[in-house]
Amino acid sequence: MSAQQAELEQLEAALLSDIAGAADEQAIEAVRVSALGKKGSVSEKLKTLGAMSAEERQVMGPAINGLKNRVAEALSARRNELRDAAIDARLAAEKVDVTLPVRQSPAERGRIHPISQIVDEIAAIFGDMGFAIAEGPDIETDYYNFTALNFPEGHPAREMHDTFFFSPNEAGERMLLRTHTSPVQIRTMETQKPPIRIVIPGKTYRQDSDATHSPMFHQLEGLVIDKTANVANMKWVLEEFCKAFFEVPSLNMRFRPSFFPFTEPSLEVDIQCDRSRPGEVRFGEGNDWMEILGCGMVHPNVLRFGGLDPDEYQGFAWGMGIDRIAMLKYGMPDLRAFFDADVRWLSHYGFRPLDLPTLFGGLSS
Amino acid sequence: MKFTLSWLKDHLDTDASLAEIVDRLTMIGLEVESVDDKAALKPFVIARVLTAEKHPDADKLRVLSVDTGSGDPVQVVCGAPNARAGLVGAFAAPGTYVPGIDVTLSVGNIRGVESRGMMCSERELQLSDEHDGIIDLPEDAPVGMPFATWAKLDDPVIEINLTPNRPDATSVYGIARDLAAAGLGTLKNGAVAPVAGEGVCPVKVTIEAPELCPGFALRLVRGVKNGPSPKWMQQRLIAIGLRPINALVDITNYVTFDRGRPLHVFDTKKVAGNLVVRRAKEGETVLALDGREYTLTPDMCAIADDNGVESIAGIMGGEHSGCDETTTDVLIESALWDPMATARTGRTLGIVSDARYRFERGVDPEFMVPGIELATKLVTELCGGTPSETDVVGYAGHEPRVVSFPFAEVKRLTGIEVAPEESRSILSRLGFTVADAVEMTISAPGGLAELMPSSGVHAVPSGDRVDVAVPSWRPEVDGKADLVEEVMRIHGVEKIDPQPLVSHDAVNGRILTTLQIRTRAAKRALAVRGMMEAVTWSFIPARHAELFGGGQPELKLANPIAADMSDMRPSLLPGLIAAAQRNADRGFADVALFEVSGTYEGDRPEQQRRVAGGVRRGTAKMEGQGRHWAGNAASVGVFDAKADAFAALEACGAPVDKLQVEAGGPAWYHPGRSGTIKLGPKVVLGTFGEFHPKTLEALDVSGPLCGFEVFIDAVPEPKAKATRTKPRLDLSPFQAVRRDFAFVVDKGVEAAALTRAAGAADRKLITGVRVFDIFEGPSLGADKKSVAIEVAIQPVERTLTDEDFEALAGRIVENVAKQTGGVLRG
């Protein structure tokens, strides 16, 4: 080994040691300048090549260039090392406690009232059966609420409705709060020719208040009028509805004769259920019958009041309590709580805003 | 309506079990409300005390050896003073539930002596309050027999829930008739034989109000001996919840239930002069049999004598002329009373009686006279005496209603095929008279007329149509549909198989109206903003209504259920604010509630509005409420309400980019922190804001509180679309840029005016203007503020040059200066 080569080796050892010892970017840069800068130790060595003989250059050329490459590589490696260490240090410093709670999405916090949800469930089912949704005013006339529905003037059945009245106006007309959604039957017949297939959800009012009665409550009325609709069709519609609504594959229903002024024949409907578990009702099983709705063939007089000939047109109607079927399906014990707006109750019994009842996705989740 | 099984079997010959009867009753429309089968009394058997020894360790107790009729004698420890050898009583074995003491017996050990059962008192069996000793039966009572059977206490009691259209089923006889028609036995003959009378009834009756009293039968029975009625009658009355009084009164009650024929008995000696049926005089009073005094009015019917009112017609007799043990001459009344007048009187006076229950439904007019005969028969049988002839006044007889009935009507309305013979038979069994209808038919050429050339018009019986005469006990039946119901309920509703209602369309389309869709969308949109949907009362306190622009006389209930539920709400806000406060009072101060429902501007249908309203209280902001490590929620304010209002409007499809917000709102809001949302100059779509301190004070609530109302029925109906295709989307290839400007304007200048002015500088290039900073400070002057805006610019034809931008900026500054007086902040 020549002295020059020994010198190179010495230089390399010194430079590599400097690189390894460089503690930061600045130190690395200083080493780079001292070795590979214009006047750096390795650059100076490269400059000596020009004065060498060809034989000498053949030996020293690769030796010096090799040195240059190794130093450059070592510089780069050390630089990466330092950069990684710096990132690691920063990341370590940036650590947070990911168990800290985040705010709940408002879409998860908000609630839809059970009555609205049930109305949407009902709309989904009856929409599938080809029914439209109809509505009518809460403040009604005696004519629409009673007379046109075949409640004769002065008949005790009127009194059974515990009606809220307003004071008579100058014309002597006394408005009232509708006691059922049935006035919409007449309003619909007045404006729409058969075939009629509607369901009517809405607020209704009676002077009554306890755990299962409220002065304001919600009813769902149904009306089918065409030239053939009969009790057998009515049974089918109501059975299909109840199965879909209570989300059970089968459900025993009992239709028994009853009386309503606006239907003839009239029937009341019980559904089979099991109430043996406290606070829980199961449908489609058990030994109890629970009354759920009233129905019947539209009374000929009601058809006449609606402007239809009862010998040409016929149909059926039914009514049920929305609050009541909500209580049955979802197990709320007290009707009064529906109207109290207690956020604890709403949060528990209410529905998430994005829980949209559909038939394809299931009525309830 | 209550009755017992044995009572029913007085009129119905049947082998059917109790369960079968109960089932059938419900299925033919006589809904069984409850059945008391007296099973609780079954375990008690008649037993004889063989020996009774003093208890070795207790002076008042005895150790009995009891023969219960099965197996060895049983040892019973008994404390009753009448417990003695030879006594026959009612025994309960261990395991028996004793209702009167609410205890299930077990084998006991009383002071060292084993006791295997109990000899019971009447109170322990809940037969009476008697508890001085154990039941002491006659010597010959059969040991081992169930006590209840021997004492005829095991007669099941059935209660049915009668619908108002079934006056005929207010009697045991009528119920038996229905069951017989439904095939559950044979109806026994219910004809009543007249009882011969001697001489005319000396007390006369005059009907002065025939419109209230279509008939009156009166009869005197002289020389009766009144006292307790026989045990069988008492037991039946007790079983259905009536208290036996005396034989004469019990007979009237018995006939009321047995035949649905209410009666009244007067003690003749207490009646002054003759009877008159008349309208009561204003303020006339009567002490009724329930011991209460009632004040009558002229729309009530009374039976009066020379002393005044003796009875409230069809509802309750008077105390004064009532029968007691001293009565020797009894006047029996069997009358007809107008149903509606009876109902009205009963309701006004608040009297619920068995007579009213029947008369307001309609009592069989044809049984008025048989009813008095039956009563006379029972009176003479049970109390002796000599009856007079019956005096019948005012009764014109009953003309049955005849309904022309095509049998095909059954199939048309119910969907089930019932053979005409079956329909005919059902109607006949129910007491309807079915006659072949004779129909006039005009024959067509080539038909029957050719064979009977004398006439083209023929009277021929038609096999598919009958004339049905309605029995006198079914006043509600007056049309074809009623007869279909009769056939259906007796034939069996359960036999009607469901038949699909065929859908008109294979795929059913939209079923909701625009308003319904918007109602639904508004609810979901507000709930998504973290609000909870409330349903509050439609009626609110009058002063709340007045505070929110309501309280009109036509919206005040004449008969509110409570004083603070008197007025139809003019706004959703008072109810929601009250609800928020209720929650705060329960410890939940941060609540966000909304409601989408009706408010009332008047009593006409079109004056019922559809409104979405909401309130936020405390720190219930959309992002979250209360304290949080990453930053506490601030108090809610006008901008939270504004955001809610716009979210609801946007969900309803309102053109939000065309809406204007004007400062200020209705009086219940904070005048400087509220706004009104308008579409054009006239259409108000909503209001929002914080509330006026006076509003909060008047409602007795505390804040922070803000709220909004959006009138979703005022949002214009969307235009019908010819296509569902969305408008073409043009995406500019040139880079979008943003430029910031800060303007110094007068404090009163509205931000919206400034952004509008900036945007109007170039409607093609400027795609948005956003306010990002508001600054007020002494450096600007007391009446100035700085508004910083960011203008979004989208070049469409080419990349903009510096000169282009300068020109655009110039136009923006110029327009803002012109519209608002603002100058670019230096």
Secondary structure (H, E, C), B288-322 = ECCCCEEECCCCCEEEEECCEEEEECCCEEECCCC
Residue B446 confidence (pLDDT) = 47
> What confidence tens digit (pLDDT) does each residue in A25-46 have?
899 999 999 989 999 988 888 8
What is the Cα–Cα distance from B395 to B229, expressed in whole angstroms? 32
Kindly write down the DSSP assignment for every residue of B493-550, as one continuous string: GGG--------SSSS----S-HHHHHHHHHHHHHHHTT-EE----SEE-HHHHHHTT-
Which of B511, B600, B606 has the most A C-beta neighbours within 10 Å, making it the best mutation to test the interface with A?
B511
Stretch B204-223: mean pLDDT = 96
Q: Is B500 on the interface with A (CB under 8 A)?
A: yes
Q: What is the pLDDT of residue B442?
A: 52
Question: Looking at the predicted structure, is the pLDDT value of residue B457 above 90?
Answer: no
Nearest to A232 among B414, B494, B561 (CB): B414
Instruction: Please give the share of chain B, as a percent, with pLDDT higher than 90.
Output: 81
Give the separation between CA B575 and CA B568, rounded to whole angstroms.
11
Q: Would the pLDDT of A200 be above 70?
A: yes
Residue B639's CB is within 10 A of a number of other CB atoms, namely 15
Please compute, for residue B690, the number of CA atoms within 13 A of its CA located in the half-sphere on the CB side. Answer: 17
Identify the CATH class of B514-714: alpha beta
Please say if the pLDDT value at position B443 is more than 70.
Answer: no
> Residue B482: its chain A contacts at CB < 8 A?
264
B534 contacts A113? CB cut-off 8 A: yes
pLDDT value at position B762? 93
Residue B453 clears pLDDT 70, i.e. is over it: no
From residue B662, give the alpha-carbon distance in Å to each of A62, B616, B652, B677: 85, 21, 21, 6
B349 interfacial to chain A (CB closer than 8 Å)? no
Cis bond leading into A265, ω under 30°? yes
Q: How many whole angstroms separate alpha carbon B29 and alpha carbon B487?
A: 12
Chain mean pLDDT for chain B: 92
- Give pLDDT, residue B37: 83
For residue B478, give Cα distances in angstroms to A264, B167, B400, B485, B750: 11, 14, 10, 12, 73
B213 and B301 in contact (C-beta within 8 Å)? yes
**Cβ <8 Å between B557 and A177:** yes
Share above pLDDT 90 across residues of chain A, in percent, rounded to a whole number: 67
pLDDT, tens digit, 9 for 90 and up, residues B161-197? 999 899 999 999 999 999 999 999 999 999 999 999 9
Beta-carbon separation of A256 and B555 below 8 A: no
Handedness of CA B435, B436, B438, B439 (dihedral sign): positive
Helix A25-36 with A41-48: angle, nearest 10 deg: 20
- CB–CB of A112 and B533 under 8 A? yes
- The DSSP letter of residue B676 is E
What is the C-alpha to C-alpha distance for residues B321 and B403, in angstroms, rounded to an integer?
A: 44
A154–B344 C-beta distance less than 8 A: yes
What is the model's pLDDT at position B100? 85
Cα separation of A40 and B500, whole Å? 99
B581 versus A58: which is more confidently predicted? B581
Q: What is the pLDDT of residues B541-570, one digit of tens each?
A: 999 999 999 999 999 999 999 999 999 999
The interface pTM score, or ipTM, of the predicted complex is 0.89
Residue with tokens 């007086």, as numbered in its chain: B821
- Kindly tell me if the per-residue pLDDT of A1 is higher than 70: no
CATH number of B402-445+454-494, picked from 3.40.1280.10, 3.30.70.20, 3.30.56.10, 1.10.3720.10? 3.30.56.10
A239 contact B CB<8A: yes
DSSP B240-263: TTPPP--HHHHHHHHHHHHHS---
Give ranges for CATH 3.50.40.10 in chain B.
205-393
Residues of chain B with CATH 3.30.56.10: 2-38+156-187, 402-445+454-494
How close does chain A come to B613, measured CA to CA in Å? 14
- pLDDT at residue A356, rounded to an integer: 93
B165 touches chain A (CB under 8 A): yes
DSSP state of B350: T
* B557–A128 CB contact, under 8 Å: no
pLDDT at B449 over 50: no
Q: Is the pLDDT of residue B153 over 90?
A: no
Cβ-based contacts of A167 with chain B (< 8 Å): 553-554, 556, 558
Question: Would you place residue B378 in the very low, low, confident or very high pLDDT band (cuts 50, 70, 90)?
Answer: very high
CA Rg, chain A, in Å?
43
In tens, the pLDDT along B50-64 reads: 998 988 888 889 999
Q: What is the mean pLDDT of residues B627-633?
A: 93
Average pLDDT over residues B452-459: 48
Half-sphere exposure of B304 (CA within 13 A, CB side): 19
Q: Assign domain B205-393 one CATH number from 3.40.50.720, 3.50.40.10, 3.10.20.600, 3.30.1490.20.
A: 3.50.40.10
The shortest CB-CB distance from B582 to any of A138, A257, A341 is to A341
H helices, E strands: number in chain A: 13, 10
What pLDDT is stored for residue B824 in this prediction?
A: 92
- pLDDT single digits (tens) B567-594: 999 999 999 999 999 999 999 999 999 9
The verdict on a CB contact (< 8 Å) between A133 and B536 is no
Ranking A285-289, B78-82, B747-751 by mean pLDDT, the lowest is A285-289
* Partner-chain contact B561 A256, CB within 8 Å: no
- The partner residue sitting opposite A164, judged by closest CB among B520, B559, B608, is B559
The CA distance from A67 to the nearest CA of chain B, in Å, is 50
Instruction: Kindly report the backbone phi and psi dihedral angles of residue B423, in degrees, each rounded to the nearest multiple of 5, phi listed first.
Output: -60, -45
Query: CA triplet B260, B264, B267: central angle to 5 degrees?
Result: 155
Q: Is A203 in contact with B598 (Cβ distance < 8 A)?
A: yes
Q: Which of residues 313-352 of A touch B (CB under 8 A)?
A: 314, 338-344, 346-347, 350, 352
Q: What's the mean pLDDT in B26-47?
A: 90
What's the pLDDT score for residue B541? 97
Residue contacts between A and B (CB atoms, under 8 Å): 260
A113-349 adopts what CATH topology?
A: BirA Bifunctional Protein; domain 2 (3.30.930)
The residues, ordered by sequence, that sit 6+ positions from B61 with a Cβ below 8 Å of its Cβ are: B54, B55, B77, B78, B79, B110, B111
Report CB contact under 8 Å: B516, A133: yes
Has residue B538 got a pLDDT over 50? yes
Which of B133, B94, B134 has its CA nearest to residue B117? B94
Structure confidence at residue B450 (pLDDT) = 45
The residues in A 118-177 lying below 8 A from B, measured between CB atoms, are 120, 123, 126-133, 135-139, 154-157, 159-160, 164-167, 169, 174-175, 177
Residue ranges of E strands in A96-251: 132-133, 139-140, 176-177, 196-205, 216-226
Question: For residue range B391-417, what is the model confidence (pLDDT) as tens digits?
Answer: 999 999 999 999 999 999 999 999 999
Could you read off the pLDDT of A143-195 as tens digits, one per residue?
Answer: 999 999 999 877 766 777 789 999 888 888 899 999 999 999 999 999 999 99
Pick the range with the lowest mean pLDDT from A308-317, B44-53, B526-535: B44-53
**B171: amino acid identity, one letter:** S
Structure-token match 């639904």, residue found:
B520
Q: Is the bond into A249 cis (omega within 30 degrees of 0)? A: no
Report the mean per-residue pLDDT for chain A: 91
* A114 within 8 A of A349, measured Cβ to Cβ: yes
pLDDT of A224 above 60 = yes
pLDDT at A269 over 70: yes
pLDDT band at residue B456, thresholds of 50, 70 and 90? very low
Does B684 touch chain A if contact means CB atoms closer than 8 Å? Answer: no
CA distance A155 to chain B (A): 6
pLDDT at position B439 is: 59
Mean pLDDT of A243-265: 93
- Over residues B339-374, the pLDDT tens digits come to 999 999 998 999 999 999 999 999 999 999 999 999
pLDDT of residue B503: 78
- What pTM value is reported for the model? 0.87
User: What is the third-level CATH fold of B2-38+156-187?
Assistant: Phenylalanyl-tRNA Synthetase; Chain B, domain 1 (3.30.56)
Measure CB to CB from residue B413 to each of A259, A297, A342 and give the nearest one. Answer: A297
**Residue B479: closest C-alpha in chain A:** A300
Q: What angle do CA B149, B150, B152 make, to 5 degrees?
A: 60
Domain B737-824 of CATH type 3.40.920.10: no
Q: Give the domain B40-150 fold.
A: OB fold (Dihydrolipoamide Acetyltransferase, E2P) (2.40.50)
State which residue of chain A sits closest to B165, comparing Cα positions.
A259
Residue B609, number of CB atoms within 10 A of its CB: 18
How far is it, in rounded angstroms, from Cα B743 to Cα B753?
12
**Element spanning A242, H or E:** helix A231-246
Name B353's Cβ contacts closer than 8 Å, sequence gap at least 6: B315, B316, B346
Cβ-defined contact of A342 to B583 (cutoff 8 Å):
yes
Tokens representing residue B127 in the block: 């037969």
- Nearest 5°: the CA angle B272, B273, B277 is 100
